[in-house]
Chains A and B, each alone.
Chain A
Amino acid sequence: MKYKDYEIKKVSKAIWEIPRKGNMRVPARFYALESMLPQIIRDNALSQVVNVATLPGIQKYSMAMPDIHYGYGFPIGGVAAFDLENGIISPGGVGYDINCGVRFCRTNLFLKDIKNKIPEIAQGFYEFVPSGIGSHGAIKRLNQKEEEEVMTKGAKWVIEQGYGEESDLEATESFGRMKEANPDKVSQRARGRGLNQVGTLGSGNHFVEIGVIDEVYDQNLANEFSLAKDKVIVMVHSGSRGFGYQICDDYLHLMVGQINKLPFSIPDRQLACTPFNSKLGSDYFQAMSCAANYAWANRQVLMSLTNRALQKTLSISKSNLGFRLIYDVCHNIAKVEKHKINGKEMDLCVHRKGATRSFGPHQSELAERFQKTGQPVIVPGDMGTHSFLMVGTNQSMKETFGSCCHGAGRLMSRSAAKRKFNFNQVKNKLQNQGIVVYSVQRNTLVEESPDTYKDVTEVVEAVSLAGLAKKVVRTRPLGVLKG
């Protein structure tokens, strides 16, 4: 099989490889069912996977998950790990929405408890959760000191302000905080943008969703997480808002300015990067960590507001509702992690852009409660179809630096969606499926229409087949708040 001038080799049922050619330092590997290949090839995202393979210090492969689609610089669904001594760090390999991510929460409720109350629940989310363009106000406007506390302490700071429990931190990737954060590396512009956005949903593909478990694949794992068929769950998807965007923008600008000083060429300026162990690389990593912590604080507040919304709407006590965080994952991040390369353990800078960590059992970075199971992995589909809770595997540690997919991946551009669908069409279709949607922006509903995304079931099938994660339960949406 061919992609432009490149050969595509089949490694196994769900693993494909583009051998090294030209300036590629390593092969490219992507994970997909064979049926997904024509669309992946048409989308041209593979050119971006190949481009990433040219960056210095890259280890093993330039990778892409089955939800791959064309982005800018790195593809969405891209994973690349770099040696800390000789490798680079790239803001484009993280994305503008630093630590955009999702959390999955369980409740004591069954579908029968709420099936006649979905519109009220969705309205409750709309009233409690600030959402939409420029949304602000969930937490009072921070002062400089408080903002620096958010940057350095992440989710822990907002817990101290009364949003959630200390135990939520164990169920959050990196325990809700990257210790490398240093506010001195964050610009005044970014700080200004972050002052009043903690606890806001934002817009685009961010959402709060109430759903129900409609299939259990692994009863033992479901029991471990107190999940069962017909149990009601909640998901929250958001990131670091304007704060993270500004940090990415600031550092991309600086790195683009230094491109001519690099001892290597890069095929796309959006891949602007710098040696990890340079001052600029270190500064970016410290600022990025501030944004990551901001996002964890943000999602912690959003989850807490959602919990309060449910209690109020359903007139139910906190203990009866039993709302509890199962896990929070990020899918736009760079982390320093230990991985084995040719049998030798190395510290690597792993970039995941539209990809999720999927650490298996007995990984020291995971809290005690996940040592036996591996970390939960959340794969939200589009608002009209299923989402999945999976767990990471030791196979993913060997294969993809402990990474897997993050969602469905887009099929269709937003412009094409607006040409093809209209607001009422999409809303009615969802209503006919029994799904209540509150969308702050009419355009968003159309742009995020289910038909614009890949089939998440295929994406999940591909990662399961490749051994990167294991299915636990499947959910379907009942009510959605979109920004």
Chain B
Amino acid sequence: MKYRFIDHTADLAVEFFGKTIEELFVNSALSLSEIIFNATQSEIRNTIGKIHLNFSAKDLSVLYIDFLREILFQININFRYFYNIEINKFSNKEMLINCYYHTLDLDKIAQEIKAVTYHNIGIKKEKGIYSAVVTFDI
């Protein structure tokens, strides 16, 4: 399971999973595309592009949120459905990635997500699986 929804009174909370920290990051970004466009990658066939991104932060949790913030910006502004992420460099405070996407249209957005919050951020490891609960403003 890459993600599941958690009840939140006003907004949207999602728990993401990964067998490694890197996989958690990648799954979160790809799942975000899936949630927003309400489509799995196999259902999308459109113009392909690639973008190189880099991030740095004081700690891993903030790095994670800042990464998702940028992914969300690319989805919302450029309608990019991310289907693959290559991690070139990764540490608790820095990451360099190549992100591969299909370019879709505004009218393909099924679930609007307006912002990624820093609310109660933290990455856990339980029974060998990494997870994080992210609260989104909708």
Residue numbers of A with Cβ under 8 A of B are 43, 45, 69-73, 76, 96-97, 133-134, 189, 192-193, 203-204, 242, 245, 248-249, 252-253, 256-257, 259-260, 268-270, 272, 410-416, 441, 443
Contacts and interface: CB of A to CB of B under 8 A. Distances in A.
B96 interface: no
Contact of A414 (B65, B114, B138): B138
Interface in B85-138: 106, 109-112, 114-121, 135, 137-138
Contacts of B117: 72-73, 252, 270
Given A70-B9, A72-B119, A413-B9, A204 B138 contact: yes
17 contacts: A69-B9, A70-B9, A71-B9, A96-B115, A192-B77, A203-B112, A242-B76, A245-B114, A268-B120, A269-B61, A269-B119, A269-B120, A269-B121, A270-B118, A412-B9, A413-B9, A416-B7
Given A252-B118, A257-B57, 13 more contacts: A69-B9, A71-B9, A134-B109, A204-B112, A204-B138, A242-B114, A253-B69, A256-B62, A269-B121, A413-B7, A415-B8, A415-B12, A416-B7
A66 B74 CA distance: 38
A71 B10 contact: yes
Nearest to A241: B114
Shortest 7 CB-CB contacts between residues of A and residues of B = A72-B119, A269-B118, A270-B119, A413-B7, A72-B117, A70-B9, A134-B106
Contacts of A414: 11-12, 138
Contacts of A134: 76, 106, 109
Interface of B: 5, 7-12, 57-58, 61-62, 65-66, 69, 73, 76-77, 106, 109-112, 114-121, 135, 137-138
B10 A69 contact: yes
Best-surrounded residue of B58, B106, B109, B115 (most CB of chain A within 10 A): B115
A272 to B, nearest CB: 7
A70 B121 contact: no
Nearest to A418: B5
Contacts of B62: 256-257, 269
Contacts of A260: 58
Nearest to A447: B138
A203 B106 CA distance: 13
A70 B8 contact: yes
Contact of B10 (A70, A133, A192): A70
B2 to A, nearest CB: 17
A69 B100 CA distance: 39
A6 to B, nearest CB: 19
Contacts of A69: 9-10
Contacts of B77: 192-193
A52 to B, nearest CB: 13
A268 B65 CA distance: 14
Contacts of A97: 114
A415 B13 CA distance: 9
A370 B114 CA distance: 36
Nearest to B12: A414
B3 to A, nearest CB: 13
A214 B55 CA distance: 56
Contact of B7 (A76, A204, A415): A415
A36 to B, nearest CB: 14
Contacts of B114: 96-97, 204, 242, 245
A4 to B, nearest CB: 16
A260 B59 CA distance: 11
A202 B106 CA distance: 13
Contacts of A249: 69, 115-116
Contact of B137 (A96, A203, A268, A415): A96
Contacts of B61: 269
Contacts of B65: 256
Contacts of B7: 413, 415-416
A73 B119 contact: yes
B104 to A, nearest CB: 12
B66 A72 contact: no
A72 B121 contact: no
Contacts of A416: 7
A192 B77 CA distance: 9
Contacts of A441: 112
Contact of A256 (B10, B111, B112, B118): B118
Contacts of B66: 253
A192 B137 CA distance: 20
A133 B9 contact: no
A193 B72 CA distance: 14
Contacts of B138: 204, 414
Contact of A268 (B73, B111, B119): B119
Nearest to B109: A133
Nearest to B8: A413
Contacts of A415: 5, 7-8, 12
A282 to B, nearest CB: 22
Nearest to B73: A189
A112 B61 CA distance: 59
B55 to A, nearest CB: 11
Contacts of A412: 9
Contacts of A248: 115
Contacts of A411: 9
Nearest to A72: B119
A133 B37 CA distance: 12
A97 B116 CA distance: 13
A76 B58 CA distance: 29
